[in-house]
Amino acid sequence: MQALTSTNFKFQNQISFYKGKVRDVYNINNEKLVMIASDRISAFDVVLPKGIPYKGQVLNQIAAMFLKATADIVPNWLLASPHPMVSVGLHCNPYKVEMVVRGYLAGHAAREYKAGKRTVCGVQLPEGLKENDKLPHPIITPTTKAAEGHDEDIAREDIIAQGIVSEIEYKKLEDYTLKLYARGTEIAATKGLILVDTKYEFGNYNGQIYLIDEIHTPDSSRYFIKEGYQERQNNNEKQKQLSKEFVREWLIANGFQGKEGQVVPAMNEDWVNEISERYIELFEKVTGTSFVRHNNANLEAEIESAINNYLSR
């Protein structure tokens, strides 16, 4: 199985190229963005050494589905998906925060809580919670959007005080975030899943707020299996989850959390293939459809041709 870990195209009217942790982004004349979901995988803000076959296709197709399913809540950047690993959309000016929303005490928030913290991003958490408990209501715990290195937790008040986002716009971002999370929760429930937490990114296009990037994918979200959730909580058992948290847990078990001086552990082919299968499993559970593995023998040439054909229309 082939994995696409990098691209280096030159498209007509291309004025810049940006390589993110997972996506390769081409700016076409400051009007459109061509976003290629590579098979790179990151954790703790570090790109791991091997690509995961079909991961890019999984991310791109889930994101496209949910962008269409939430377009009535907030306009989004997506115009077309000319290839299973490619999205083309409007070039928006991004807000430099990620809107993380949590309905349950899991992941980073659970680790902070376990360490004794009762305030996350300025949001007060009640006493007596245990990992994976449902919160009294969904909370927003934003992070800065770092160009390089680690995203950092930041409080709502600091975002506004530092002028990262104006108060009027930030209130709109909060409103959209909670409505998107509610819709994602409803859709997940119909598939026997719980949307535990997720993150949204927004941009501005012609003075209007747009939803950008991906939503409700295994890279941006955490899902629990709904059946048996409460029983597992009552018995202090681990939740069955669909997310890339299992990759983080593997890294932690192998002595890596992205801290200075730590070395990323080696990834053998069996582990790479297992990650690939877990992503495909999540696709099928989240979408309720079978995953069709796109032939990945000659991805670069195929992707370049598909994008050129779309841009030439």
Express each pLDDT in 34-80 by its tens digit. Answer: 999 999 999 988 999 999 999 999 999 999 999 999 999 999 999 99
Indicate the SS3 state at residue 280.
helix
Confidence of residue 13 (pLDDT cuts 50, 70, 90): very high
pLDDT of residue 150 exceeding 70: no
Specify the pLDDT at position 295.
Answer: 85
Predicted local distance difference test score (pLDDT) of residue 148: 58
Q: What's the pLDDT score for residue 149?
A: 56
Q: Are 43 and 251 in contact (CB under 8 A)?
A: yes
CATH class of 94-246: alpha beta
pLDDT at 2: 87
List, for residues 121-135, the tens digit of each pLDDT value. Answer: 999 999 999 999 999
Question: Percent of the chain having pLDDT more than 70?
Answer: 98
pLDDT digits 0-9 by tens, 157-203: 999 999 999 999 999 999 999 999 999 999 999 999 999 999 999 99
In angstroms, the CA 186 to CA 172 distance is: 21
Mean pLDDT across the stretch 69-98?
A: 97
Contacts of 110 (CB under 8 A, 6+ apart): 131, 132
Range with lowest mean pLDDT among 16-20, 45-49, 188-192, 294-298: 294-298
State the pLDDT confidence band at 290, using cuts at 50, 70 and 90: very high
Confidence band, pLDDT 50/70/90 cuts, at residue 145: confident
The residue among 47, 30, 21, 53 whose CA lies nearest residue 213 is 21
Summarize the confidence of residues 199-210 as an average pLDDT. 97
Q: What is the pTM of this model?
A: 0.90
Helices (H) and strands (E) in the chain, counts: 8, 17
Measure the CA–CA gap between 100 and 195, rounded to whole angstroms.
13
User: What pLDDT was estimated at residue 33?
Assistant: 97
CA distances, 189 to each of 47, 166, 185 (Å): 32, 34, 6
Each domain of the chain, given as residue ranges in start order, spans 94-246
Task: Find tokens 């930041």 and name the residue.
Answer: 154
- Mark residue 299 as left, alpha or beta (left: phi above 0; alpha: psi -120 to 50; beta: remaining): alpha
Q: Is the pLDDT of residue 207 over 80?
A: yes
Token output for 56: 């890019």
Q: What stretches of the chain adopt beta strand conformation (E)?
A: 14-19, 23-28, 32-37, 42-43, 46-47, 78-83, 86-90, 93-94, 97-104, 119-120, 123-124, 134-140, 143-144, 193-205, 208-212, 221-225, 241-242
